[in-house]
Amino acid sequence: MLINNETIIKDSDPLIRQKSEPVSLPLSKEDETLLCELYQYVEDSRDEEKAKEFNLRPAVGISAIQVGIPKQLTAVIVNEMDKDGKEVFYKYMLVNPKIISSSMQKAYLENGEGCLSVENVHEGYVVRSARVTVKAFDLIQNKEITIRARGYLAIVLQHEIDHFSGVLFYDHIDAKNPYPVIEEAIVI
């Protein structure tokens, strides 16, 4: 399947709001291929030349529903700096990820969130948990894993898992108070 800006469904399509179904393991060839294609999109979108050539918008994650397939599959590539200032890459090809715990402390992206399926700008903070623990099967490691995520990775995982419930990032923005003051929140 060709995945690019033309084939990713947008928020004007009611399909983006459809709930995604869990996927059985071991993965079927079809589901494995789809997950690999989602991952390839994210990887290629981070390369300026490939992004331009193939009409890809930069991404850190994409879920299967964004290509019109309501299955709990998502690919994520996030790079951050660790406490020593070294770049760390988190790369996942997740099947049926579930948040099993989340912190009371909140976090949000200072410049707001974006989404491959959302073309219009939506001003406001998307307030999420600062830390989450996610259980999933990861195709890269080919096993069940537990991810203890904080900061940007935690936000990306929550964003992608929201897609499985038909929730888009701007659903979390308070229309009456889009830029609330949140005590002790981590601003990223």
Q: For residue 147, what are the β-bridge partners? A: 134
The one catalytic residue among 48, 119, 160, 183: 160
Our answer to whether residue 160 is catalytic in this structure is: yes
A 10 A CB-CB count for 46 gives 15
Helices marked H in 1-144: 29-45, 48-54
Q: Left if phi > 0, otherwise alpha if psi is -120 to 50, otherwise beta: which for 8?
A: beta
Query: Of 55, 97, 50, which Cα lies nearest the Cα of 76?
Result: 97
Decide: residue 120, CB within 10 A, 0-12 exposed, 13-18 middle, 19+ buried: exposed
**Close Cβ partners of 125 (under 8 Å, ≥ 6 residues apart):** 108, 109, 112, 173, 178, 179, 180, 182
Residues annotated as part of the active site = 160
